[in-house]
Amino acid sequence: MQDLSTKAVLGRAALIGLVTGIPTAIIWVDMQGEELDGTVLPPAMFLLAIILGTVGARLARLPRWGVVGPVGGAAAWLLIGALAVLAPVPELFGPLPALVAPVYVVGGVVGFALSAWSLMSPLRWWAVALAVAVPLGSWGAAQYKPQILAWFDVRSLERSGVPLIAPAIQGYRLVHVDLNAAGQREPEPSTWLEYWRDATPSRGFSEIQVTVWPAAAGNPWDSCLAVTEDFGVPLRCKSLPGDRWVRTGAGSSWVTVFARSGDALIMLNGSSIAEADLVAALSTFRPISAVELAMAM
């Protein structure tokens, strides 16, 4: 068997990765949203990738084809599976998997080419380690995607500069949290928390929206006056003791309260809730961990 240049080996390996990746990627895309849960490829796909990789490596006369074929096929399978979990097919594509499959096929091409290059003569131990670490690392990251994203959410909250506080409002549960970075429209970062109280036979559904800024974002009075949306009704601000301000609108069920809590500027926006109850919620603010907030993001 003639010796091949590095360029020739990589070219042939990329072609084999393409042939191996296309059927695996298309079948995966077609099966998403059906009986699979998006975390593993069917074992049959793994076997297909191994067979195609081995046959292709033999026909292409790659160095160490008996090892390159199975290893390259496994690497292609792992990277395609990782991409399928990390970047699932958007629903808006509907029955057009061909628009997304090429993204997954890239994983097959890269995985096979990396394996072939790593196993070339002379053998490079660090290259072999790289060929093993990249697919396995990608696959492992895909399996722990929710945990990894949650970790990033926690770190973002901890580094945001927004005081980590939240109210403990009786009868309401925290259902969602957003972290808004400082930008052109908002000079200071903020956290936005949404609380729900479910409807019962004796009362309707109610929600409270909470926004927390650093104290440098402003003061309650100016914030109450800074109406940036057209509500279509006359609005007015009234003062309460302790530098607290309440904004209401004629004929509107929404009440908004502005106040300070420690080193934070806070706003509570309530629907179908009495003004006194919303004001009383100010006293329930407490420190909260980034982990607790991230669980609702």
Residues 211-218, mean pLDDT to the nearest whole number: 90
Residue 165 has pLDDT above 90, yes or no: yes
CA distance 293 to 297: 7
Confidence of residue 193 (pLDDT cuts 50, 70, 90): very high
Specify whether 91 is located in the same domain as 221. Answer: no
Report the percentage of the chain scoring pLDDT > 70.
79
DSSP letter for each residue of 104-170: HHHHHHHHHHHHHHHTSSSP-HHHHHHHHHHHHHHHHHHHTHHHHHHHHHHHHHHHS-S--EEE--T
Specify whether 24 is located in the same domain as 131. Answer: yes
Which of 122, 143, 164 is where one domain is finished? 143
Residue 91 has pLDDT above 60, yes or no: no
Confidence of residue 99 (pLDDT cuts 50, 70, 90): low
Specify whether 102 is located in the same domain as 38. Answer: yes
Specify whether 63 is located in the same domain as 87. Answer: yes
Q: Which amino acid is at 128?
A: V
pLDDT in tens, 236-249: 888 899 889 998 87
Specify whether 129 is located in the same domain as 204. Answer: no
Specify whether 170 is located in the same domain as 264. Answer: yes
Specify whether 279 is located in the same domain as 173. Answer: yes
Residues 2-7, mean pLDDT to the nearest whole number: 70
Specify whether 25 is located in the same domain as 136. Answer: yes
CA distance 269 to 247: 9
What is the total residue count of the chain?
A: 297
Query: Which residue, 230, 225, 229, 194, is CA-closest to 212?
Result: 194
Any domain includes 117: yes
Any domain includes 47: yes
Instruction: Give 242's contacts (C-beta < 8 A, 6+ positions apart).
Output: 259
CA distance 107 to 24: 11
- The parent domain of residue 168 ranges over 156-294
Bridge-partner residues for 272, per DSSP? none
Confidence of residue 183 (pLDDT cuts 50, 70, 90): low
Specify whether 52 is located in the same domain as 179. Answer: no
Which of 143, 177, 195 is where one domain is finished? 143
Report the percentage of the chain scoring pLDDT > 90.
13
Q: Among 113-127, 164-178, 181-195, which stretch is predicted with the lowest mean pLDDT?
A: 113-127
Any domain includes 1: no
pLDDT in tens, 23-79: 877 766 666 545 444 444 467 778 888 888 888 888 888 888 888 888 888 888 888
Any domain includes 148: no
CA distance 13 to 79: 15
Q: Where are the alpha helices (DSSP H) in the chain?
A: 6-31, 43-59, 65-86, 101-118, 125-143, 145-159, 220-225, 275-280, 290-294
CA distance 297 to 246: 28
Confidence of residue 164 (pLDDT cuts 50, 70, 90): very high
Residue 210 has pLDDT above 90, yes or no: yes
Compute the radius of gyration of the chain from its Cα atoms. Answer: 28
Specify whether 103 is located in the same domain as 24. Answer: yes
Using the structure block, give the residue that is written with the tokens 């990396």.
114
Any domain includes 78: yes
Specify whether 229 is located in the same domain as 200. Answer: yes
Reported pTM = 0.61
Which of 103, 120, 143 is where one domain is finished? 143
- What's the pLDDT score for residue 58? 87
CB contact at 8 A, 258 and 223: yes
* DSSP state letter for 189: -
Q: What is the domain count for the chain?
A: 2
Dihedrals phi, psi of 243, to nearest 5 degrees: 55, 45
CA distance 68 to 9: 11
Domain CATH number, residue 252: 3.30.200.100
Specify whether 161 is located in the same domain as 138. Answer: no
Pairing, β 165-167 against β 254-261: unpaired
CB contact at 8 A, 106 and 20: no
